[in-house]
Chains A and B, each alone.
Chain A
Amino acid sequence: MLVSTKWLSEYVNTQGLDPKDLGEKITRAGIEVDAVIDRSHGMTNVVVGYVKEKVKHPEADKLNICQVDVGEETTQIICGAPNVDAGQKVIVARPGAVLPGGMKIKKAKLRGEESNGMICSLQELGIEGRLVPKAYADGIYVLPETAVPGESVLPLLGLDDIVLELGLTPNRSDALSMLGVAYEVGAILSEDMKYPEVNYTESDEKATDYLNLKVDAIEENPMYIAKVVKNIQVKESPLWLQHRLMAAGVRPHNNVVDITNYVLMEYGQPLHAFDYDRLETKEIIVRLAEEGEKIVTLDDQERTLKSNHLVITNGKEPVAIAGVMGGANSEVHDGTTTVVIESAYFVGGSVRQTSKDHNLRSDASARFEKGVDPNRVILAAERAASLLAELAGGEVLAGTVMVDELDKTPAEVVVSPDFINNRLGMKISLEDMTSILSRLKFDYQAANGLLYIKAPTRRQDIKIEEDIIEEIARMYGYDEIPMTLPVEESKPGGLSSYQAKRRQVRAYLEGAGLYQAITYSLTSKEMSQKFALETAPVTELLMPMSEDRSILRQSLIPHLLEAVTYNTARQADTVALYEVGSVFLGETESGLPHEQEHLAAVISGKWLDHSWQGEKKAVDFFVLKGIVEGLMDLLGHSSELTFERSVVDGLHPGRTASIKLAGEEIGVIAQLHPSEQKARDLKETYVMELNLAKVLDKEVEALYYAPVSKFPSITRDIALVVDSEKATGELQAIIQLSGGRLLKNVHLFDLYEGEKMEPGKKSVAFSLTYFDPERTLTDEEVVNAHNKVLKALAEQAGAELRG
């Protein structure tokens, strides 16, 4: 809502406040002033000129040489506008003027001819093109003949004005009118209101003799009134009305249309003017449209109606879509002499649906949607009639054509002052409260320790006690609310064990060199299940904005890979990222998908790079595996952790393992399939994804310390020759199982496959540590235990002892 402060001051005394200060007061009281716009843009030296003479420029077809009387002198100005002509009063920017676009006007020569200034269009004075009257849209603006050469044009065009741009929240539709804003400002400044004048003489003829009215859809249209005005003359509106409309963001058309728009802005009540003669039938019937019925609207579009769209008809065919847009067939035109002014209460939901179906939003539909003030329907029509009499020479027929079944009872709220103070944590006196209610022009009675309040119908947002609390508080001032903290039984806050562990997981991964990424949950059909640990029916949007963001993901890996590709393409030589986020699987009983929190990591490029010492190492499977092992150790699950070769689409078939905890699959780790790497222009890239929720929800044993022993441990190494395919993990498991109570640690320290070995064989060396916390082990005990290990290795894995 754009509010001209000059216009506003006709209804309420703004106490000479600087508009910026006024804006600040309005903001602090609850309606945010988004901008304070100086319509003059600081312009000076822009005056009325009189074009005494116009001749063609000898050197340029499109230029005219004009002799212009600017008051103190007559001066030559070159003008390129097609509509400039001798005898016009025009806007002249004199040398020294600075126009809103920043253009500085100087004396100049155009193709050899002197030009002392510029004849301006309204656009050049900072008025948006869409607001300039059509007649002047493509050229200079022509002022009325009464304009006096040499005088500033700013007051003439209403540009000596400051406009407040209000950012209205949906509850404050009452401020979608100048009067509504005036009520608000009056309440803030404790000022009374002045109401617009309604003053006309009724003709002897009766409106009801001219027009029959019937409403066949009372639910959608509980109130419809019409005034009939005859003998009007359609012409340009007076300048003051035009510039007020432009200040409010409305384009002037002709006096009849301008008056309906002016009253719309003034009262917040949309009006519509029909050409009485073009209605043809002397009848208005409001009804729901027939399915498929057609109407050509004012914008010359043919629109097909649905059976829930409300239409105004002449009894035969639609002449307007109610509350949304008029029809072309009944439009007021230059030759119109009699008009029907419609003022109605159309129900918000109906207008919202219709305007949405036709993708037509207008100043009118916006107001109906939010609900207009039932008590202004008649007032606005009367005001329009009065203006038509005054500005269009109209003769207002006696009476009003009316159907009215609208409930206009104000909302009643009963609230106790104590309740108000308790909720606010304040001690506002009853006198202060009632004074605020008076300023707001709310009817109230204080009795029995309670306030009985009747909210005016223009404030449809006031319904319950809390609404009154807000009114009192905002007018009293939010700055006056003290600062306290909740008084309650004190309880410690904190993270759940899951949340605490998740934070530790992040810290660990970051310590290991990975950056946390956050990617989008929505993805394409193609990517939604790619690399997924587990697939289930996908969750798809009804109306996606694009195919790339149409389905919820079932794996975090695709978007992490996108990030790796993005970084690699920008010369990052190492990319190590992880993400913790949800994947969305199938459907639970509640109808929602099963949301599972996952952890994924991707590494690519160099892992070690200490170049001046010559150390370089690309990432490999075991870098990422080490990170996973460390993570499971951190979470207390390392003893249950195993890795098993597996196959997943899109991952390297020989370098993929499923990650298992106590035999249960909880994740996957792999090299990206070389063809996938190639497609993304990546070097060797390793990925991992875990069902984090499952891991974090797993129970962990309590942490107890094992005494640090005084007794030494004994280490024995074994080197084995086994078949190449034999997994070292299997050998390690045999050792661990057969080593008995004394074997405390097994660790692989050498692995050799190559020329020196018999084909199909490899050499593996383990270091075994034996230990008893209670005493020093004897040689014999160690030899016994060790022999059992060797025997088991030979029997179960066909291992030969080497060397």
Chain B
Amino acid sequence: MEAQLQQLKEEVLQKIAASSNVKELNDVRVAYLGKKGPITDLLKGMGKLPAEERPKMGALVNVVREEVTTVLEARMSLLQEQAINEQLEKESIDVTLPGRPVKTGNHHPLTRVVEEIEDLFIGMGYEIAEGPEVEKDYYNFEALNLPKGHPARDMQDSFYISEDILLRTHTSPVQARTMEAKEGQPIKIICPGKVYRRDNDDATHSHQFTQIEGLVIGENIRMSDLKGTLSVFAKKMFGNDREIRLRPSFFPFTEPSVEMDISCFKCGGDGCNVCKKTGWIEILGAGMVHPNVLEMAGYDSKKLSGFAFGMGPERIAMLKYGVEDIRHFYTNDVRFLSQFHRTEV
């Protein structure tokens, strides 16, 4: 009987090894370990053995049964894993197919530049001031030390609505209005907005464009404060290794007036096509607020002083992104707009 058991064991192990899928193996389990299988038969047949041999034989059968079961379980989990793997293989996809696009738009490049500048100055304690695009001659010119008859305010250069009302030619009237409203109190503002000039639209001119200006008024505001502020701006906007230089210039609303150049961000100052081989790029105009402008807004120009600066986001965007024609900003070609999607730096 022992030999019979041994033979049976060999036979089952062989069948287990030979089964190639879960179903076959289950058949083996049912055939050999089931209630009607040969091992059960063997146990049933033990009644014929002498009583003293029965425990020994019973134990032997159980050992074989456990041994076979262990092998079978191991084989079963192997085959099951194989079956799953086959199934998953059938479910495989072409991972190189394009994903479902997440369609998003983006800021207009001018807004991108304006917000970057706004945020930079907000970080230095500035507020954003806005004002009307249709302005009174007084705020656009007179309050800025451009009295009637001043050559810089020729009718030819402005869009007048009536003798006293025009489309603002710069965002400076927002400064004049803010000064008037603040009644002698300190000021720290940035004024972005649309402005208008009588120009024929071409690659470098646009009858409508954008400006962003800054104004600081307080006790003992010095020209060195202007220079320091502009340097911080230049480094944050155009890179930490930017240098600035001031050149004397003229604006009716500031005295002294300056123009600020930055060292070329493309060539670093060696000279290239962006900086027209000079190593410097003109970025903005600035100056100390003219005492006439302060006095007209009710500030005592002997006690308080201030600085102002102004620049064109179009020019900055053109320089930064290499845009060659200002009209691109107003055509709204999606092939243009969509290029200002991603982050920088």
Contacts and interface: CB of A to CB of B under 8 A. Distances in A.
Interface in B159-187: 159-162, 164-165, 167, 186
A81 B229 CA distance: 63
A612 B99 CA distance: 10
A628 to B, nearest CB: 16
Nearest to B245: A479
Interface string A504-527: 001001111111111111100000
B208 interface: yes
Contacts of A518: 108, 110-111, 329-330, 332
Given A542-B161, A545-B207, A577-B332, A474 B248 contact: yes
B246 A425 contact: no
A595 B132 contact: yes
Contacts of A485: 124, 225, 228-229, 232
A591 interface: yes
Interface residues of A, number: 91
A250 to B, nearest CB: 23
Interface in A459-512: 464-467, 469-470, 473-474, 478-479, 481-496, 499, 503, 506, 509-512
A196 interface: no
Contacts of B136: 590-592
B255 A484 contact: no
Contacts of B165: 591-592
A482 B247 contact: no
A89 interface: no
Contacts of B208: 520-522
Interface stretch (B3-11, B51-59, B333-341): B333-341
B312 to A, nearest CB: 14
Contacts of A584: 133-134
B128 A425 contact: no
B315 interface: no
B125 A492 contact: yes
A41 B49 CA distance: 127
Interface string A595-635: 10000000000000010110000000000000000000000
Contacts of A511: 104-105
B127 interface: yes
A753 to B, nearest CB: 30
Nearest to A513: B103
B216 interface: yes
B105 A509 contact: yes
A520 B225 contact: no
Contact of A493 (B121, B149, B161, B333): B121
A540 B161 contact: yes
Contact of A515 (B97, B105, B127, B135): B105
A543 interface: yes
A486 B105 contact: no
Given A493-B122, A506-B107, A592-B165, A567 B160 contact: no
B47 interface: no
B221 interface: yes
Given A30-B249, A492-B125, A610 B224 contact: no
Contact of A422 (B124, B222, B247): B222
Interface centre among A481, A486, A494, A584 (most CB of B within 10 A): A486
A27 interface: yes
Interface in B122-161: 122-128, 130, 132-136, 149, 151-152, 155, 159-161
Contact of A566 (B160, B248, B331): B331
Nearest to A352: B151
A28 interface: yes
A369 to B, nearest CB: 7
B105 A516 contact: yes
A484 B228 contact: yes
Contacts of A496: 127-128
Contacts of B337: 515-517
Contacts of B103: 513, 574
A549 B108 CA distance: 22
Contacts of A321: none
A141 B208 CA distance: 48
Contact of B247 (A478, A517, A577): A478
Contacts of B242: none
B334 A514 contact: no
B223 interface: yes
B322 interface: no
B164 A591 contact: yes
Contacts of B122: 493-495
B111 A466 contact: no
A575 interface: yes
A513 B225 CA distance: 43
Interface residues of B, number: 84
B241 interface: no
Interface in A526-550: 539-545, 549
A737 interface: no
A3 to B, nearest CB: 18
Interface centre among B221, B225, B329 (most CB of A within 10 A): B225
B151 A369 contact: yes
B332 A563 contact: yes
A491 B256 contact: no
Given A352-B151, A506-B107, A591-B164, A484 B224 contact: yes
Contact of B104 (A369, A513, A545, A566): A513
A483 B255 contact: no
B105 A521 contact: no
Interface stretch (A51-59, A165-173, A267-275): A165-173
A506 B257 CA distance: 36
Contacts of B123: 493
B79 to A, nearest CB: 36
A349 B149 contact: yes
A552 B134 contact: yes
Contacts of A516: 105-108, 111, 337
Contacts of B249: 30, 32, 169
A466 B332 contact: no
A521 B224 contact: no
Contacts of A539: 134, 161
B332 A566 contact: yes
B225 A32 contact: no
B194 interface: yes
Given A423-B223, A483-B224, A485-B232, A513 B334 contact: no
B334 A545 contact: no
Contacts of A521: 133, 167, 194, 196, 208
B194 A542 contact: no
Contacts of B248: 29-30, 470, 473-474, 478
Contacts of A28: 247
A515 B103 CA distance: 10
B65 interface: no
A408 interface: no
B288 interface: yes
Interface of B: 97-98, 100-101, 103-108, 110-111, 115, 118, 121-128, 130, 132-136, 149, 151-152, 155, 159-162, 164-165, 167, 186, 188, 194, 196, 198, 200, 207-208, 216, 218-225, 227-229, 231-232, 245-250, 255-258, 288, 290-291, 305, 329-335, 337-338
| 6 closest Cβ pairs, A-B complex | A425-B224, A425-B222, A30-B248, A169-B250, A470-B256, A483-B228
Given A485-B225, A613-B100, 13 more contacts: A370-B151, A473-B223, A483-B231, A484-B225, A510-B107, A512-B105, A520-B207, A545-B198, A552-B167, A574-B103, A576-B105, A592-B135, A595-B132
15 contacts: A30-B248, A170-B250, A423-B288, A473-B223, A478-B258, A481-B224, A510-B106, A517-B332, A521-B196, A541-B160, A541-B161, A542-B161, A545-B198, A610-B101, A612-B97
Interface of A: 27-30, 32, 169-172, 349, 352, 369-370, 422-426, 464-467, 469-470, 473-474, 478-479, 481-496, 499, 503, 506, 509-522, 539-545, 549, 552, 563, 566-567, 570, 572, 574-578, 581-582, 584, 590-593, 595, 610, 612-613
